[in-house]
Amino acid sequence: MERALCPVLVGRERELDLLEDALIASNRGRGQVVVIAGEAGVGKTRLVNALRVSAARAGTAVMSGSCSEADLTLPYMPFVEGIGNYLASVDGERIKTRLGPATRRQLGHLFPQLELSPPDEVGDPGQARMRLYEALLTLLQFAAEQRGLLLILEDLHWADASTRELLDYLARRVRRSRILILGTYRSDELHRRHPLQPLVQAWQRAGTIETVQLPPLDPPGVGRMTSAIFDGAPIEDELRDFLFARTEGNPFVLEEFLKAALDQGDIFKTAQGWDRKAIGHLRLPATVKETILLRVERLEEQQANILRAAAVLGRCFDYRMLVGISGQSETTVRAALRAFVEQQLAQEEPDGYSFRHALTREAILDDMIAPERERLHARAADQLREQPGANAMELASHLMAAARWQEAIPVALRAATDAEGRKGYLEAVHLYERLLDHTSDRCLRGELLSRLGKVQFFAGETRHAQRYLSEGIAILDQCGDARAAAGYRIWLGRCHWMRSRPDLARQEFEAARAALEPHGPSEALAYAYVRLASLHTFDKEHEIALQLSREAVRIATAAGADGPRIHAYNYLGTNLQPLGQVEEGLHWLDQGYREAVAAGYDWIAVVALYNAIGDQLHHARGREALERLRWLQDMSGPLRLRDTGLLEAEGFLAMRARGEPERARRLLEAAVPRAEEVEDTLFAHRMRLVLAHALAALDQLDEAWRVLPAQPATAETQEVMGFVYESMWLHMVGGNVTAAQELAQQVVHMVEADPVRNTEIFLLDHAVDALLRADDVPTARRLLAIAHTDVFGRHPLLLRARGRLALAEGDLAGARDNLREAVAALDGAEFADEEWPTRRAFAAALVASGDREGGERELRIVLLAARERGHLLEARLAAQGLAQLGVAVPDLVPSSASAAAAEVDGEGRQPTERLVTVMSIDIRGFTAITVQEPPHEIADRVAT
């Protein structure tokens, strides 16, 4: 039975198991001392309390005491507290009798309730302490007689010398008792000169105690704890990573942050469950701030002032800069730094110093009054100006924090440009947003807004990007700077396109071209041509798109602009392929990727890989598509859009190439909300199409229809085709032949209107299948006849369409030959989602030709592979086909619904291993098919 844990103990199951094992061992006579070490707030006390509950349930006696931070404390304070409370709760007379007068007198100093005055000690004080320690051990052993004893000593980092000495003594004497002593201390308090440090090191060397190190939570641990706090609700990776970055994995800090978020309404409960506002800056909760500042207050005032100066410099700070802005001597600053390191507030780095925790710095800054912060920032800026090659971002930050805005603006603009160059888009966003509030020049404001919009686009915030670009371009036009405005129109048009408005995108691209053309070749003009080429590409106007792409290359080359030249290679490659130049087109895509990576244009490389992944799969080259996915996965960078796009690409290939719908579902369900949150509606729409496909593959057809968009995202031919393709397939899966036939007729009309532009191999194959299911053989034959199929060569889906048509027309030899070639092309090509229905069609042709054994073989291959990868739809259809042949399909072990899940059964085997065994036995045991039906009737049912 699973153990229910307090939310802040989620992720600490292993440590709790260790403590419970130690408690059991102690109850069996193997007493020991265990110490839990960890930073403040990491969960030591919660872990102790959990063990206390376990001990109480087992009937174990529990004593608990803690050390005090006060300068003057009673000797043996945690022992006095714990034992004293225990004595007050049990039969005092029985204890007195069992201890005897001698032991009671030794304990009289500490426990007056034992009612015997302590002896007048004479002689060696050391011997007197030993007698006291033995008397205490006797008392503890008495308490442990029945069902053991748990003695808890908390906050040992504050222990006085007498407590440390007694604990050291007991650690050597409890091994053959039924006593478990459990201590805790803050590892971040144990600086090199801390009096507990040598004792802990000695214990560890001698093996006297067991130390349980309690580290901060990792990102998954933060996610699990957050989920537990919110009633088990799933936590998005984005929120999890944000909380981990803010709390550094500290459970106490995490809990306080979440409490504050609840109090402020940033996280709230709805009828559907927990929801949140968009992630922003969570302020440091007062409880966390006060805890941190208590440590700062222990420092001398001069040292505390130096620490405040360090906080102004940043998470990492330089020694000489600290001397300069603190106004103290080097000797004083060195002494302060030594104290910071000893108190574990800061740590030494190879090139300076840093705060051990970002929250420490944040709390110190938040506690300072504004004039003091501004004064220190001003001194830091002056120090930086004197240094050659000073970092522009650092200088701008200090100038802005010092409210010296006239000096800050030019430096901040240079810093933002530098940040864009190294793809630090969020840094640039932060700088532009701050400058906007302090800019009075209207034309400069227009430039800042436009720049902000552009970097917001690269940061993945399409909605914000469009708003800032629109406002900035309008101001630049009013200022008469049409050329600058035209450069930003390109990015505004891209925002429109991503928000499913290609009409508005075309207006911006055309306006940019018209404004830039008179000025001759430029980077911006080349990009305008690239974007116009992209629109014609999406509308399947390949000749026009090819011309525009080549013109973009020419202009970019003349202007010496590598970015648009390389970007244009994407549309050269994409448009050459449908014109019959497949290999050359794929070459240009890979060339664009390689040159973009070499030149540092990561976002162009990402676009090239997205296109290459889709195009390689389009040509039934799943292995090559997966290889380019690995290239994409290797490209880690700051583009937030890439995170969504990577999930999209992984989900697409998980479904189509690998045939793993459950994995595809998880990836796409994570990606769609991210795209919708920033209003990238076009990509969200595309992902919903694939998500619906995955759900149907999981035999969840109702859910698939719920997810499928109601209409195409835009009127672009590419989007219309994708929508018709998925809708037609879902109708066929659901048995709605009439609806599928209507969509197939729409495809026929599209191809009749423009065979070159509107012949798309996947759509063509589906339309032929839908028409044949409706017994409309003549229209299927006509569609294949008028379609422009010369560019496809021996594409397996074209072969499949021809094979299906031949089977419907009674041309069994033609059906077998076409479908056999299609299966051979797809076999091992990593295109499972199309290989399996092709094998089923081939099985139908074989059965119709009298080769029932061959048909059974193909269906078994599909059944086995589909079950292994969790493709429930294909597995069901293959099983139905086998049943129609009279083959008893064995009760198979339910699939994990994803090969990626890799769950293991009780014998240490994966489900697929057992599945292979069952199927192999059945194949070996099968002898003959006894169904007495005409082959073509069986084939009709197998094919469906």
Please state whether 295 falls in left (phi above 0), alpha (psi between -120 and 50) or beta: alpha
| 739-746, Cβ contacts within 8 angstroms, sequence gap of 24 or more | 740/770, 740/773, 740/774, 741/770, 741/771, 741/773, 741/774, 741/776, 743/767, 743/770, 744/768, 744/770, 744/771, 744/774, 744/779, 744/783, 745/779
Using CA atoms, how far residue 908 sits from 440, 913, 917, in Å, is 70, 10, 15
d(CA 662, CA 691): 10
d(CA 560, CA 554): 10
Range of lowest pLDDT (243-247, 552-556, 733-737): 243-247
d(CA 932, CA 944): 20
Q: Which residues pair with 269 in a beta bridge?
A: 274
Indicate if the pLDDT at residue 235 is higher than 80. Answer: no
| 237-262 average pLDDT score | 81
Tokens (6 digits) for 677: 């949150």
Question: How does the average pLDDT of the chain come out, rounded?
Answer: 86
- Please give the single-letter amino acid code of residue 4: A
* Edge-to-edge order in the sheet of strand 316-317: 316-317, 352-355, 346-349
pLDDT computed for residue 281 by the predictor: 58
**Residue pair 940/840 in contact by the 8 Å Cβ criterion:** no
d(CA 774, CA 424): 56
Helix (H, G, I), strand (E, B) or coil at 111: coil
Indicate if the pLDDT at residue 2 is higher than 90. Answer: no
pLDDT tens, position by position, 152-167:
999 998 888 899 999 9
d(CA 547, CA 551): 6
| 495-515 average pLDDT score | 95
| 722-749 average pLDDT score | 96
pLDDT tens, position by position, 19-46:
999 999 999 999 999 999 998 888 888 8
pLDDT computed for residue 645 by the predictor: 82
Within 13 Å and on the Cβ side, how many CA atoms surround 173?
15
**Residue pair 221/247 in contact by the 8 Å Cβ criterion:** no
pLDDT tens, position by position, 514-557:
999 999 999 999 999 999 999 999 999 999 999 999 999 999 99
What are the backbone dihedrals phi and psi of residue 34, each rounded to the nearest 5 degrees, phi first?
-120, 135
**Residue pair 255/241 in contact by the 8 Å Cβ criterion:** no
CA 656 to chain centre: 23
What is the share, in percent, of the chain residues with pLDDT greater than 70? 89
Helices and strands, number each (H, E), in the chain: 45, 10
**Residue pair 635/642 in contact by the 8 Å Cβ criterion:** yes
Per-residue pLDDT band at 278 (split at 50, 70, 90):
low
d(CA 300, CA 307): 10
Query: Could you give the dihedral angle defined by the CA atoms of residues 316, 322, 325 and 330, in that order, rounded to the nearest 10 degrees?
Result: 180
pLDDT computed for residue 559 by the predictor: 96
**Residue pair 819/834 in contact by the 8 Å Cβ criterion:** no
What is the share, in percent, of the chain residues with pLDDT greater than 90? 56
Q: Which residue has the higher pLDDT, 684 or 674?
A: 684
pLDDT computed for residue 280 by the predictor: 57
pLDDT computed for residue 857 by the predictor: 95
| 658-682 average pLDDT score | 90
The answer for residues whose C-beta is within 8 angstroms of residue 935's C-beta and 6 or more apart is: 847, 848, 849, 850, 852
Residue 414, H or E segment: helix 405-421
d(CA 802, CA 804): 5
Q: Which residue has the higher pLDDT, 462 or 533?
A: 533
Tokens (6 digits) for 689: 């199409």
Most confident of 113-117, 126-130, 261-265: 126-130
- Please give the single-letter amino acid code of residue 658: R
Closest CA to 888 of 846, 929, 843: 929
Indicate if the pLDDT at residue 130 is higher than 60. Answer: yes
Per-residue pLDDT band at 276 (split at 50, 70, 90):
low
| 92-103 average pLDDT score | 82
Strands 209-213 and 352-355: unpaired
The residue whose two tokens read 């057992």 is 914
**Residue pair 355/337 in contact by the 8 Å Cβ criterion:** no
Per-residue pLDDT band at 735 (split at 50, 70, 90):
very high
Q: Which residue has the higher pLDDT, 927 or 420?
A: 420
Per-residue pLDDT band at 141 (split at 50, 70, 90):
very high
**Residue pair 304/297 in contact by the 8 Å Cβ criterion:** yes
Closest CA to 665 of 414, 871, 360: 871
pLDDT tens, position by position, 571-615:
999 999 999 899 999 999 999 999 999 998 988 999 999 999 999
